[in-house]
Structures are given as structure tokens and as C-alpha cells.
Structure 1
Amino acid sequence: MRADAQRNYDRLLAEARQAFIVHGTDASLEDIARHAGVGIGTLYRHFPDRYALMNAVFEQEVELLTVRADELLTADSPTDALVRWLRMVAVHSTMYRGLSAAIMAEGDAKMTACKVPLRAAGGALLERAQRAGEVRADATIADLLKLTNAIVLVAEKDPERQAIFDRLMDLTLHGLRTPAGVTAQA
């Protein structure tokens, strides 16, 4: 990529990240381009649609979540590691109002740059907890990520979001565990 094109790309990402934090993921693409000092055509040359821009903005943060998942694979408690990681995913999603809705609304066709690595990273943590017999065998990482994003959506709409967020996460994560004395099936 040419140096000027790279500068434009970097400015667009920086402006988009800030706009998504302040205004949510439905922020005006025209405003993002204007604040980056480029035309809307330049934005669309780099990012053919809103989802391409969102994937690029969140790619670095998703990478951090996957690195953290790798680190948690050696934690003493597989279930605690999974729970900690799901909370990290939720906290990441709450930074950007509308991110959870965007991820859930489009199924698997959009936001693949976010979904694929998150599912792989979380899937490894889930499998470890299931092998240890601590987490229900019928749980899937896709389900857990959908539940996490649904909780974030609810918290976004609630003025006392931290309390509701914590309560719903606790209820959901408690439901993952196998009942005492029952061995999870592989």
C-alpha cells in the first residue's frame, strides 16, 4: 500500500474506533471520513461496507482476546478460565454500543474477522472445561458467545447496566457448570 493510502487507512481506523466508542457502531460513515480528513469514496475504497470497517477496527482487540484465551489454557481451573475469558469478551463488547447487536444480527455472514478467531479461542477453553467434567457437554462456544452478546445488549438498554450485567453473567455462567455429582458426557 502506498504511504498516503496507508495514512488514510490508519486515520480512518482511528476515527472509526473513536466514533464507535462515542456514538456506537451505527455512527455516520460520512462523519468518520470527514474527521479522518478524507472523502467518503476513500473510506469505501478501503472498507466496502460498515461491517468491513467494524471488522478492521475490532481485529486488534480480538487478537488480544485470543492471546488472553491462549494464556488461560494453562490456568488451574478450566471453568474459571472460561468464565474469565467470557467476561473479557463482554467487557470488550460494552465499550462499543451496538457491537453485540451487529455481531448477532447478521448471523455468520458478517463480522467473520471477529467471530472466527473468537470462536476458536473460546472453543479451546470450553473444550478444556468440558473434558474436566466441569461444564455441560451440550454447551457450544457459539451459544456462549451469543448469550454473552445478548447480556451486553440488555445491559446497554438498562441505566443500571453494571448491576444487571453482573447478575445476568453470573446466572448464565452458573448454568454452564455441571451439577454436583453428575459427570459431563463427552
Structure 2
Amino acid sequence: MMQHPVPDERRPANDGPKAAARNRAALVNAAREIYAAYGLDAPLSAIARRAGVGQGVLYRHFPDRVALAGAVLEENVRQVEQAAAVDNATLADVLGVMTWHLTESAAFIGLLHAHESGGPSDIRAHALALSERVERGLRGHLPDGHRLGAANDLMLAVAMVSGAVTGPTRADRECRALAAWRLLGVEVGPVRPFDS
């Protein structure tokens, strides 16, 4: 039996492109949360549920797991670059944003090491390009003579800190990341996402 809307009832508005942009952003945020809790192999259905959309919506935006992880990584890198582009930003400020992403996103940690591991060459190349963007953002704020100024020292320190980012909660991971930076003798600003 077909039901017709009662005259006083309103159907939800179809927001068209606005809904698509909102759904995409919700999927990226949900993926970041799910990846942080369960790793990169978490079920895509869990991400769709967390975002409040169906799996069909997920697949319309991201045809596969790699595309979704790539979107999370791109957002992480973009925030580090935005923090680095702020007038008067210091290395500590940029490291604070990067450290937030390390503690929040397992995908971001994977990015920093993916180009060194096996796997498809296109994924390794993409990971390398993103990792180089992070390095440029950080290196642009290294004062002359900084202890991490030598050729590979900066990204080696980032890799060492990312290896320390473990723990069941984001607070645990942040505590360990800050301890690792402290052991390296590096000051880190407030650990938070970049707010434009």
C-alpha cells in the first residue's frame, strides 16, 4: 500500500551538492576516528555507519579503501601545510599540529613509513609525495643550526616519534608522542588540529 504525505508534512529537503560535500567530510572524519581505533584494515561498513551514511554513499565518494585512506592522508597533510603557512608560526606550532595528526590518525603514521615498505608502486609514490610535503612544511621552520637540521634527521625524528605513538586512547598516544619529542630535545606546541 502506497502512503502519501499528509499535506502538513514536509519531506526532507534534498540538498544535492551540499549533502554530497557534507557526506564526504563526514566520511573522512569517520575514517580518521575508525582508523585510529581499529587500524587501516577496519571494515568500511563501520566507517559508513560512523558517518551516518549508507555504504553506497561511501562507495560513490571513495571507490576503494585506498581512495578513502588517501583522502584522510591528504587532509592531514593539508592541515600541517596550513599550520606551516601561518605568519609567525614556529616549528613548535607546526609540530603540535603534526603530532595531533599522529595521535589521531593511524593512516597518517602509515603514510610516513609507506614509501619505505613494499606495496604497489603508485601507493608508495603517493605516500612519498605526501611525506615530502610534510617535511617541507616542517623544514621551513627549522632555525639555523637546529639539532634536526641535518639531511635526514628531521624525518628520522618524526619516524621515531610516530613509532612511539601507541596506546588504547588518544590521550595515551599523545602522552607518548610528547615524551618522545622531549627525549629528542624538541619543543612541541599545543597538540591540536589546525584551525583556520
TM-score for the superposition, normalised by structure 2: 0.59
Offset at residue 156 of structure 1 (A): 0.3
Alignment counterpart, residue 124 of structure 1, candidates 134, 140, 149: 140
Is 2:164 the counterpart of 1:154? Answer: yes
Local SS of the residue matching 2:82 = helix
Give the length in aligned residue pairs: 160
Q: Distance in 2 between matches of 1:38 and 1:45?
A: 10
Measured against aligned partners, the alpha-carbon deviations of 1:63-96 in whole angstroms (never above 9, x if no partner) come to 3322221226x46xxxxx3244224312221112
TM-score for the superposition, normalised by structure 1: 0.62
Contact 2:83/2:97 (CA < 8 Å) preserved in 1? no
- What residue in structure 2 maps to residue 70 of structure 1? 85
Is 2:95 the counterpart of 1:86? Answer: yes
Q: Which runs of 5+ in 1 are unaligned?
A: 76-80, 175-186
Q: Distance in 1 between matches of 2:168 and 2:22?
A: 39
Q: Percent identity?
A: 27
* Paired letter, 1:168: A
- What residue in structure 2 maps to residue 26 of structure 1? 41
Superposition CA RMSD, Å:
3.5
Q: Distance in 2 between matches of 1:89 and 1:138?
A: 20
Local SS of the residue matching 1:156 = coil
- CA shift in 2, pair 1:69/1:164, >3 Å: same
Alignment of 1:32-181 (within 5 A): 32-35=47-50, 36-39=52-55, 43-71=58-86, 74=88, 81-97=90-106, 99-107=108-116, 108-111=124-127, 114-126=130-142, 129=143, 132-135=144-147, 137-140=149-152, 143-157=153-167, 164-173=176-185
